[in-house]
Amino acid sequence: MKEKFEFNYELLSDWTALPNEEHILVEQAFSAMKNAYAPYSEFKVGACALMDDGSFILGNNQENAAFPSGICAERVALFYAGANFPNKKVLTLCIVAKGDLMPASQLLSPCGGCRQVMLESENRQKQHIRIILVNQDNRTMVLDSVIQLLPFGFGRIG
């Protein structure tokens, strides 16, 4: 029996087309990106998690000469949220990036390890996390759940 997996996403020509209340989320992610430590790849990534109490948790990539000891921006934000606010829920996670590691026209997408961490966060809180991915050319992909990025993730619930 062949099965089929489909998902929907929204693709905007620019992040400013997001609802006004989400502009601050993107701006916070860009702010976090400025503090990224990326001397090896020169590819800076910023993340901003909107929590259920309206607060923001920022993360940025932190590279290390002893590969793979670095950590991605989205994992920094989600691990900080889980370690410090285990009873709060992440409503939305916005990820932005800048650098020559990938062409500006290529859609930004989290690595596999980050997708699994994002899915675990979603499972842990038993609630979907909205994902906003802002490309270097400002095109923006919006997904309703991490499951759309990792439909067959390890330990997926529901």
> What are 119-137's pLDDT values in tens digits?
999 999 999 999 999 999 9
Assigned superfamily of 10-148: Cytidine Deaminase, domain 2 (3.40.140.10)
The pLDDT of residue 42: 95
What predicted TM-score, i.e. pTM, was given to this entire model?
A: 0.95
The pLDDT of residue 90: 98
Q: pLDDT tens digit string along 13-51?
A: 999 999 999 999 999 999 999 999 999 999 999 999 999
Query: Domain extents for the chain?
Result: 10-148
The pLDDT of residue 34: 98
Burial 95-130 (b: 16+ CB within 10 A, else e): bbbbbeeeeeeeebbbeeebbbbbbbbbbebeebbb
Q: Which of 31-35, 107-111, 137-141 has the lowest mean pLDDT?
A: 107-111
Shortest CA distance to 137 belongs to which of 105, 89, 90?
105
Residues constituting the chain: 158
* Per-residue confidence band for 6, with pLDDT thresholds at 50, 70 and 90: confident
* Cα separation, 58 vs 123, whole angstroms: 21
The pLDDT of residue 17: 98
Token reading at 147: 């499951």
* Per-residue confidence band for 158, with pLDDT thresholds at 50, 70 and 90: low
Token reading at 41: 């790849």
Helices (H), 35-137: 73-84, 112-125
* Per-residue confidence band for 157, with pLDDT thresholds at 50, 70 and 90: low
Q: pLDDT tens digit string along 65-92?
A: 998 899 999 999 999 999 999 999 999 9
At residue 142's C-alpha, the angle toward residues 75 and 118, to 5°, is 25
* Cα separation, 36 vs 61, whole angstroms: 5
What region does 26 belong to: left with phi over 0, alpha with psi -120 to 50, or beta?
alpha
Token reading at 145: 């759940």
* Cα separation, 57 vs 40, whole angstroms: 25
DSSP designation for 108? P
The pLDDT of residue 122: 95
Which positions are catalytic?
74
